Chains A and B, each alone.
Chain A
Amino acid sequence: MPAIVVEGLERAFGEVRAVQGIDLRVDEGEIYGFLGPNGAGKTTTVRMLTTLLLPTGGRASVAGHDVVDEARQVRASIGVALQEAALDPLMTGRELIRLQATLQGLPPAAGRERADALLERVGLSGAAERRVGEYSGGMQRRLDLAAALVHEPRVLFLDEPTTGLDPVSRKTIWEEVQALNEDGTTVFLTTQYLEEADQLADNVGIIDSGRIVAEGTPESLKGEVGSPHVELLVGEGAVPEAERVCAGLGRLLPPKDGKRVLVEVEEGAADVPRVVRALDEAGIAVESLELVRPTLDDVFVAKTGHRLEKEESEGDEELSPA
């Protein structure tokens, strides 16, 4: 049974159509990466799937329950860690997890045990009695994640779980998400980081301006926009000869400048020795060589006509009601 099914889901805020009829399906045990720039409709979609916002069109079910008609059952099946860690800075870490256990209906003794275990799991046992306001950003995200896991949900929604975190904290969250998934939890992860989707997701949906523009495994999506290519920097005057040699090895791509030769290599790294040998035999001196693989950003560009990476730093906000 699929963990999440979305059909024609829409959400409008007045005249603004934040989500414009999206369809997607997430199987049990899958990590689904929902990739898109700020304001693309990721958070609005997550809010509808987690019953925090009513759709204005279409339908969706999570863990087999309709998000509108069976909202209570949906909420019992999901764990949610929203974009901005929804934590009370005046509570201690332990108080927060115990409150979450109560909200999820765990008996008091089980809630206490679960809180201790989760704090241990996310490495916050030593800070459990400190107020959340004193935590670093990474600690707050880990606490938020622990709170979302208190009732061992079937489906976990993580809305940009690593935005604003340093690389070490980001890696810690990634490891935890992977470990959870190995335990069988379905994860719906929104992100604006290409690397995050690439590293974690079994399947990726790319959303732009409220529409899903591409969907598939990271590899299949990247495969759609072309093969890896070798980028060669050769000495001045050697470019025509290098191009002649490389043309026999694979398709030549348009050069970036007069010093570089770009040649597509279908087998990726396995083809690099062949390129090096051919150039060596032709007596062409290579100053540098780089194997360049298509990225999800290339997929994004191919599907939308603009870059995702550039937009990450622009920081426009997700659409929300006035």
Chain B
Amino acid sequence: MSELARSARVVRALGTRSIRQTFRRPQLISPIVVFPTLLLAIQTGGAGAGVELPGFPPVQSFLQFMLAGSMMQAMMLAGNSGGIAFAVDIEMGFTDRLFAAPIPRFAIVLGRLAGTAALGLFAAIWFLAIGLIFGAEIAGGVPGALLAMALTAAAALAVGGIGAAIALRSGSASVVQGLFPLVLVVLFLSSAFFPQELMVEPARTIAEYNPLSFIVEGVREPIISGIDATHTLEAVVAILGIVVLGLVLSSRALRHRLRVG
């Protein structure tokens, strides 16, 4: 078996374990599914008239507009949950089992991220299904839905990389859990839940440069108006940027962990 094939098997096995772990630990799955679903229900029920505001992008319904935001929220929380689970592994010594195995150490991080990406994909399917059930249309059709799902999964992997790096550096689940409010701040200072054009300063400028806004728009466009190359490209670039940042931080944190044990 080639080195690459062997690493791929390890990543798949660790990703599978990561997904199982999430579904077997309710406190990890509930923030990914329950919390964003409740927020979606409350916002669409209470702020549905927002679509009538001047400057609101043309959408079929507020639910259709909100789906991308909920997917981003679930994706961000999946990344955070992945980081927490990784930190729990470090705390209980499970990562020692992995570090003592003859596998490339990046495969350990990639295995965790593969699980996080799968949870991001699950979240995307969940919210697209909710949207379809409650009458939202996917303007981009099946290709649009697939693009939204792929971008959400990739974004979960990217955000999970940051969570994994913090878990590796701190070795503490509480520290990663402490990032939860920051996740919400990043979300609300993006165009996830409200069109950028209708925001007031300084939130509008922050949202304009927030990488998450680019990802949100990349996921939203196929849902509300169809696949758009510019938005897709911007989302991919934003995701790649976060992936690179996560890889650099994870790589440094891995070296630190080996130095300090």
Contacts and interface: CB of A to CB of B under 8 A. Distances in A.
Interface of A: 13, 44, 47, 50-54, 72-73, 75-76, 78, 80, 82, 84-91, 95, 99-100, 102-105, 107, 131, 147, 320-321
A311 B99 CA distance: 31
A147 B97 CA distance: 9
B252 interface: no
B94 A75 contact: no
B100 A104 contact: no
A76 B25 contact: no
Closest 5 CB pairs of A and B: A86-B93, A103-B101, A76-B102, A53-B261, A75-B102
Contact of A90 (B1, B14, B25, B261): B25
Q: Dominant SS at the B interface? A: helix
A86 B17 contact: no
B260 interface: yes
Q: Which of A82, A89, A90 has the most CB of B within 10 A?
A: A90
A78 B99 CA distance: 12
Contacts of B14: 99
Interface stretch (B5-13, B197-205, B229-237, B242-250): B5-13
Contact of A107 (B1, B13, B97, B261): B1
7 contacts: A85-B93, A88-B21, A95-B17, A100-B97, A102-B9, A105-B1, A105-B6
A290 B98 CA distance: 51
Nearest to B23: A90
Contacts of A13: 260
B92 interface: yes
B52 interface: no
Contacts of A50: 100
Q: Dominant SS at the A interface? A: loop
A192 B230 CA distance: 65
Interface of B: 1, 6, 9-10, 13-14, 17, 20-21, 24-25, 89, 92-94, 96-103, 258-261
A86 B92 contact: yes
Contacts of A76: 102
A87 B94 contact: yes
Contacts of A85: 93
B1 A52 contact: no
A143 to B, nearest CB: 12
Nearest to B97: A86
A97 B6 CA distance: 17
Contacts of A52: 96, 99-100, 258, 261
B25 A82 contact: no
A99 B261 contact: no
Contacts of B94: 86-88
B96 A75 contact: no
Contacts of A54: 258-259
Contacts of A321: 260-261
A150 to B, nearest CB: 10
B21 to A, nearest CB: 5
B102 A104 contact: yes
B93 A84 contact: yes
A23 B103 CA distance: 29
Nearest to A80: B100
Contact of A91 (B1, B17, B93, B101): B17
B261 A47 contact: yes
Contacts of B1: 105, 107
B102 A102 contact: no
A78 B101 CA distance: 9
Contacts of B93: 82, 84-86
A147 B96 CA distance: 13
Contacts of B13: 99, 102-103
Contacts of B9: 102
Given A84-B93, A91-B17, A103 B261 contact: no
Given A78-B100, A102-B10, A105-B1, A88 B17 contact: yes
B24 A103 contact: no
B111 to A, nearest CB: 10
A95 B21 CA distance: 12
B259 A91 contact: no
Contacts of B98: 103
Given A91-B17, A103-B101, A104-B101, A86 B96 contact: yes
Nearest to A53: B261
